[in-house]
Each structure stands twice: as C-alpha cells, then as structure tokens.
Amino acid sequence: MPKTKRRIVFHVDMDHFFTAVEEKVHPEYKGKPVIVGADPKQGKGRGVVSTCNYEARKYGVKSGMPISRAWKLCPHAVYLRPNYELYTQISKRIMTILKRYAESFEQFGIDEAFLDVSSKVANYGEARRLAEKIKKEILENEGLTCSIGVGPNKLVAKIASDTKKPDGLTVVDEENVQQFLSPLPVRKLLWVGRKTEQKLREIGVRTIGDLALCDPSLLVEKFGTIGIQYHLMARGIDKAPVGGSSGIIKSISRDHTFEEDTSDVEEIFRILDSLSQEIYEDLVKQSLYFKTITIKVRYEDFETHTHGKTLSFLTNRLEDIKKNARRLMLPYLEREKRIRLIGVKVSNIVSGAKQKTLT
C-alpha cells in the first residue's frame, strides 16, 4: 500500500473584497467607513451588509448584519450597492494568477480559492515563500491584499487564513495541527454553524480540542453520519481533494424580497415572471436544461415554504418556467398573511451537450 502523499494546501482569501475593490476604484473613500450591501434608506431599508471595510468594523458593523442596524451604528459611512460585474471581472483576473501556482485549484465563492501546491514546493519553508510571492503579485497587479493560510489540507488551510487578517500569512505544518486547532472554538470548523455549535455546547463541547476528545459514537448518536466528519475535522483530518467539488452547476435560482410585504397578486406575478425570465436567460447562456422547478414563499412573519414539481421532460423553455412557477405559487396566495419574498429555482440540470445524447 502506498503511503498517503503529504500535501501542502493554500487557502487564499481576499481581504474585505467588495469594499477593497470600491476603494481602489474610488480613492476618495480611503480612510472612511465603507459598507456594501442593501440600500439603508435612512435606517428603514431591508436587507443586510455584504461586506464592510475595517473602518466600518470599528463601529461594530459586520457582514450579514441587517443594514438598518449598520445605519444605527454608523450613519456617516459610505453606503454602496454591490457591483457584481466589476467584482467578478477582478475576481477572474486574480483566479488566473492563482491557478498558475497550483497543481490543482478550486475557487470557493467569488473571492476565495484553495491551491494544492504539494508538487510545487519541497517543504513548509518554501511554501511560505511561495505564499509571499503570490501576495506580492496580487498586490502589484490588482492593488489588493489577501490573507493566506497554509496547511496539510483544505480544512487547516482555511482556518489558518482566518487567524490573521488583513494581509496575513499563517503557516501550520503537520506537526503543529493539533496545538493550532485545539484552543479554537468549534464554530471555526467548516460546516459548524450556529445550530451545531449550540448542540455541541449541550454536550459540553466548546473548543475543537473538546471535540477531538469526544467519543465518536456519541457524536454519531447526536448528529448522524456527519458526527464522524466532525470528529475527523477536530483532529485536523481532511482528505477532500482540492478541486474535487468544483465545476458542474446543480441549480439556478433567483429570489426577490419586496420593499413592502404584499398581497397584490398582479405585483407578485409580475415579479415571478421576471425571475423566471432571468433564470431562462441564464439557462440559455450556459445551454442548460432542467427537469425540476421549485418556488419559494416567505410570509411577513418569516414562515417559509417551498413547493416544487419534477417534469417528465427536460426543458429550458421560458413558457415552461413561467407557467409552472405561477401554478406552483397559486395555493400560497390564498392566505391572510402578506408575502415578504418569492423565489424560483430550477434543478435536476443537465448541460446541452449531454441532453442531446439523452433525447
């Protein structure tokens, strides 16, 4: 049996990417708190903060926070709507730089990436120098800083990149994985969110070190098969290959939150049709076909439902999307409650090339 190959993996994370791009395009914002997200509307706006720069963070503003709360904390900030086209364009250029240094590569969201550099460097010292070189190149080419984590797998690299920001570089070699992870809260692990953190707290587990000492069978009892994953992660074990999960599109969705909750059927159908239209354009652009369509409704009290149907045929016709979306939506329009959000999703997707072989 061949011994498992030693790996060296980078996680590259752009620093407050959206606001960093905005500051680069608008140098006059430099030094001011900048917040990219929903329109704050004098504190009455709906939606959340996408990204904020470090000046804004000094006021307690964070990404994911309601924009109305950000307004209370920092009314004098520069508030901007996201310019995804610009961010995507710059992201593509950065990813092109990163790919050149990687044996295998995996983009993660718009501004993060994993690089497997195992065959490119001989040891962690060389890995550090390579990471420094990459940071320098991105800064010189794009005027943007990033934070890089280096470790024996994606999990450790990702957590490492998060420990020193902005403009950080954190290297964790195999020998130091356990002592690096142990004191950190479980929340730092990938896939451990608010709910899982709470459930772990109930069994007295707060840090990754606590989790590593846990009886795996107890974790399975509490979380099912994913419990094994938690236990492996807590011991710094992650065999997932870089680039393993990237590529094929599984679903396309659009949703819309109304500025004011509504029961106006005409308005709801108008928006529903425009969401269908956008999905249709996306499908055609990428020559994709779908079989399943699902609508989403969120009422004013945040009660949320999904309702879907799998068709007996593959399609990308606008009429099939519009008609089915409307039909699936109908039963939800008869309630007393007003509607806050509607959405449309298509899934069970195959590409046009593959579709031809199926028909």
Is 31 a binding residue for DNA by CB under 7 A? The answer is: no
Give the C-alpha separation, 287 to 316, whole Å. Answer: 8
Is 225 a binding residue for DNA by CB under 7 A? The answer is: yes
Give the C-alpha separation, 146 to 148, whole Å. Answer: 7
Residue 51 or 116 with smaller CB distance to DNA? 51
Is 254 a binding residue for DNA by CB under 7 A? The answer is: yes
Residue 129 or 191 with smaller CB distance to DNA? 191
Per the structure block, which two tokens stand in for 53? 């720069």
Considering CB under 7 A, how many residues would be counted as binding DNA?
Answer: 56
For residue 167, give the 3-state DSSP assignment.
coil
Residue 135 or 254 with smaller CB distance to DNA? 254
What angle do the packed helices 318-329 and 265-285 form, to 10 degrees? 150
Is 341 a binding residue for DNA by CB under 7 A? The answer is: yes
Give the C-alpha separation, 205 to 200, whole Å. Answer: 5
- Shortest Cβ 129–DNA spacing (Å): 26
- Shortest Cβ 7–DNA spacing (Å): 20
Q: Which long-range contacts (CB under 8 A, 24 or more apart) does 95-98 make?
A: 97/134, 97/137, 97/138, 97/141, 98/12, 98/134
**Binding DNA by CB under 7 A: which of 77, 192, 271, 272?**
192
- Kindly name the residue from 22, 23, 55, 112 that is annotated as catalytic: 112
Through-space distance between the first and last CA atoms of the chain, rounded to whole angstroms: 44
Give the C-alpha separation, 77 to 22, whole Å. Answer: 13
Does the annotation count 22 as an active-site position?
Answer: no
- Shortest Cβ 280–DNA spacing (Å): 13
Residue 5 or 250 with smaller CB distance to DNA? 250
Is 310 a binding residue for DNA by CB under 7 A? The answer is: yes
Give the C-alpha separation, 284 to 313, whole Å. Answer: 17
- Shortest Cβ 37–DNA spacing (Å): 8
Contacts of 175 (CB under 8 A, 6+ apart): none
Is 93 a binding residue for DNA by CB under 7 A? The answer is: no
Instruction: Catalogue the active-site residues.
Output: 112
Question: Interface with DNA by CB under 7 A: which residues?
Answer: 38, 46-48, 50, 64, 66, 68-69, 108-112, 158, 189-197, 224-226, 245, 248-257, 282, 291-292, 294, 301-302, 304-310, 340-341, 343, 347-348
